[in-house]
Structure 1
Amino acid sequence: MGVSSKKALILFARDPELGKVKTRLQSSLDAETTYRLYLRILADSVAKVCAVEGVDRFIGVYPSHQSGFFDAVVASGRAQTFPQEGDDLGMRMRHAFEHRFAEGYETVVIIGSDSPTLPAAYIRQALDSDRDAMLGPSADGGYYLIGMNRRVTDVFEGVRWGSGHVLTETLARLKAAEAGLTLLPVWYDVDRPEDLRFLKTHLEYLEHSGIGAYSETLRFLQQLNWETVA
């Protein structure tokens, strides 16, 4: 498929496989429950990406697309999939950026699949930015979004992925590269058992206020046995 827009939006997602997704939640939830929850969070994230207009949409799948989960969205033409390439998250993001730039895109934005309630306005702000780079900080010390209008992909080198220093180390590398930066509002990921309680409360508020509808994820969370969730 040729480039139909100068802007590319990429969702980074792990292919849903039982026992291999959201492993940090498995300290409180069994593997089957964690898997079923991930399917709902992932579906919300895919729907959010597909609702963004004026961009070409991609889903970077890790380690590879074997589950068939994304077949329907690809068949609909709303997004394309590609395998993430690289030994760590930084290399996988670097390759994704460089491939899209090589294809002719001028603005490339990557978001994670761990922030199902992420406001679409934050994604739009990043896509419409004219700065060299865009970052969406997450409350755990990482980031839920990174975008670029020029190749500053060296910023991924030497970052301690999976630590609480990802954001600060990336910011330091962007500063060293003298890259103009758009910093988005802080948001949150859903990685740990305690994040689920916050997510449930937030989804209930969104539903009550009419701001958003995440009924499948919310109903699933409401059915959980919260006595077992740390």
Structure 2
Amino acid sequence: MSNSSLPSLRLVVMAKAPLPGYAKTRLIPALGEQGAASLAERLLQQTLMEAVKADLGPVELHVTPDSLHPFWQTLALPRGVTLHNQTQGDLGQRLWQAANTYQVAGQGLLLLGTDCPALTAARLRKAAVALKNADAVMYPAKDGGYTLLGLKRVCWRLFEDISWSTEVVAQQTLERLQECAMLCRCLEVLPDIDEPEDLQFLPCAWGVSQAES
């Protein structure tokens, strides 16, 4: 299927600066502070590369801390990726703000983080195809969250009172979608890279090894 037959979407990538002691802190016991930060940066670059490669529409990178932080100011963004600040508040408030920023009437969006190297351009296009015949699309995560949420319309309820960073995020979000009378298509479950045991799901070519057992 050619991309010209797919709907135009905004790809909204939520990212934390990959700084030692700030990003991927749960991986520090396995990789050390610098190793965890280096992996976070590689995941960020991989996500942006695949988002641009998918060629589905504009790619927005919504970041924390502020986009004026030296890391973001010196980061070489792929062509066409725009940089935006995340708002204050919990993840639900930040997702809501990012979903509504620069929204064009009738344009859907894909919300994703940078924790899932399995979110390839092909899988992003698969989500876009699924969204043609549904109100929402989700790639659930192995840990009970989701790696991607695609929406034809945005509703605050989808991000309200969610137990973020727990194993019930996907289930609660599906319940909210039902409350909002939005039909959701669930695609395959994918792994996020958050804990040391998740390192097995990294591409072998990355050659990531644990600093300690």
What band does the TM-score fall into relative to the shorter chain? 0.7 to 0.9
- Report the equivalent of 2:12: 10
Determine helix, strand or coil for the equivalent of 2:109.
strand
Partner of 1:98: 100
Whether the 8 Å contact between 2:138 and 2:150 is mirrored in structure 1 is yes
Tell me the equivalent position of 1:126: 127
Consecutive unaligned residues of structure 1, counting only runs of 5 or more, are 205-214
Deviations 1:9-59 (A, max 9, x none): 111111122210000011222211211222222221121112121411111
2:160 maps to a residue whose letter is E
Q: Trace 1:1-230 onto structure 2 (pairs within 5 A).
A: 6-65=8-67, 66=69, 67-68=71-72, 71-73=75-77, 77-101=79-103, 103-104=104-105, 106-128=107-129, 129-130=131-132, 131-199=134-202, 203-204=203-204, 215=205, 218-219=206-207, 221=208, 224-225=209-210, 228-229=212-213
- Show CA shifts across 1:44-80 (max 9, x none): 112111212141111111232311367421xx53210
Does the C-alpha gap of structure 1 residues 169 and 127 become closer, same or farther in structure 2, counting only changes over 3 Å? Answer: same
When residues 155 and 54 of structure 1 are mapped into structure 2, their CA distance, relative to the original with a 3 A threshold, is closer
Is 1:42–1:116's contact at 8 Å kept on the other side of the alignment?
Answer: no
CA distance in 2, matches of 1:100, 1:154: 20
Runs of 4+ in 1 over 6 A off after TM superposition: none
Report the aligned-residue RMSD. Answer: 2.0
TM-score for the superposition, normalised by structure 2: 0.87
The answer to whether the 8 A contact 2:10-2:56 is kept is no
SS in 2 for 1:19: coil
CA 1:71–1:198 in structure 2 vs 1: closer, same or farther (change >3 Å)?
closer
Gapped runs of 5+ residues in structure 2? Answer: 1-6
Q: Distance in 1 between matches of 2:128 and 2:39?
A: 29
Partner Cα distance (2:142, 2:159) in 1? 20
What secondary structure sits across from 1:186 in the alignment?
coil
Q: Which residue of 1 aligns with 2:3?
A: none
- Relative to the length of structure 1, the TM-score reads 0.81
Q: Alpha-carbon deviation of 1:6?
A: 4.1
